[in-house]
Every structure is written in C-alpha cells, then in structure tokens.
Amino acid sequence: MSQTFTKAMARNVFYGGSLFFILLFLSLTYDTHSEMPKQDNSANLTEKVAKGKRLWEENNCIGCHTLLGEGAYFAPELGNVYKRFGNSKQAIEAFISSRPREGIKGRRSMPQFDFTAEELDAISEFLKYVSEIDASGWPPNIQG
C-alpha cells in the first residue's frame, strides 16, 4: 500500500464503512419484519404450534435433523416432512411413536421419546405449520 494511504485513513474506512453497513442491515431488518407475515405462516401460529416448537427444542431434534435446511445432516429434512408423509399428521405421529427403544441393528435410529398423544399432536402440528412457511420454493423436491 502506498505511503499516502495512512493508518488513520484505514481506520476511518473501517469505522465509516462498518457504521454504514450496520445501518443498512438494520433498515433491511426493519423491512424484513414488515414483509415477514406474507411468508412466515404466522396466521396459523397457534398455541399448539408453539407447544410443538418447544417440544422440538427440548428434545434437541435439530441435533440430527435439518429444519428448512438448518441443523444437523444426520437425518432427513423435516421442513417438508408433513408433505412427504402425504399431508398426514397421523403418519408423522405413527413414525415417531413406533421407534424401537434399542434402535435398529446397524442402522441410524431415532430415539424413542415416549411422547404422550397430546405431545405428538403438538409436534405434528408444528411440523405442519413449518411445511406451510413460504421458503421461496425450497427444498427443490419432496425428498428434502
């Protein structure tokens, strides 16, 4: 770098540039908030969905699965599992509740969580709600 470009100038570029882009980011965040209801399916965000989300969190589902592509890559994407299971909450609940306690020999297995019927209902309701979020056409196909 040439001698005419001093450390003080570099510092000013840093502070000025950062400040500018922080403000731009905050404006975009503000706009995102106002646009969000168009895509986030918040119209269907019921108490039951909120309970399902809590169960999703408190059993660390994200530790194996992805949800809208985020999480761990050990087990299938669940953002669209409701659709993949034929738009059926029952199919989801049957799958979760039928996991063998000791796993399946030689294969990746989902733990048996011993959910009550009410909890299963909340979880599947949550997954249904997620599947109806407009994720801009993602995933590319039903396999997630």
Partner 1 sequence: MMKYQSQAVAKPYFIAAIGLFVGQILFGLILGLQYVMGDFLFPEIPFNVARMVHTNLLIVWLLFGFMGAAYYLVPEEAERDLHSPKLALVMFWIFLIAGALTILGYLLVPYSGLAQMTGNSLLPTMGREFLEQPTITKIGIVIVALAFLYNIGMTILKGRKTAITMVLLLGLTGLAVFFLFSFYNPDNLVKDKYYWWWVVHLWVEGVWELILGSILAFVLIKTTGVDREVIEKWLYIIIAMTLITGIIGTGHHYYWIGTPQYWQWWGSIFSAMEPIPFFMMTVFAFNMVNRRRRNHPNKAAVLWALGTAVMAFLGAGVWGFLHTLSPVNYYTHGTQITAAHGHMAFYGAYVMIVLTIISYAMPMLRGRDAANSERSQTLEMWSFWLMTVSIVFITLFLTGAGILQVYLQRYTGDPQPFMVVQEKIAMFYWLREVAGVVFIIGLLTYVASFFVGNADPEATVD
Contact positions with partner 1 (CB under 8 A) in 42-71: 42, 45, 49-50, 53-54, 56-64, 66-71
Q: Which is nearer to partner 1, 24 or 94 (CB)?
A: 24
Q: Yes or no: say if 20 and 91 are a contact pair by the CB < 8 Å rule.
A: no
Backbone angles phi, psi at 66, to 5 degrees: -100, 155
Q: Which is nearer to partner 1, 88 or 113 (CB)?
A: 113
Instruction: Give the shortest CB-86-to-partner 1 separation in angstroms.
Output: 14
Q: Which is nearer to partner 1, 89 or 113 (CB)?
A: 113
Instruction: Give the shortest CB-90-to-partner 1 separation in angstroms.
Output: 20
Binding mask 91-110 for partner 1 (x = CB under 8 A): ----------xxxxxxxxx-
* Exposure class string for 57-96: b at 16+ Cβ within 10 A, else e: eeeebeebbbbbeebeeeeebbbbbbebbeeebeebbeeb
- Show contacts with partner 1 in window 108-137 (CB under 8 A): 108-109, 111-113, 129-130, 133-137
Q: Which is nearer to partner 1, 89 or 109 (CB)?
A: 109
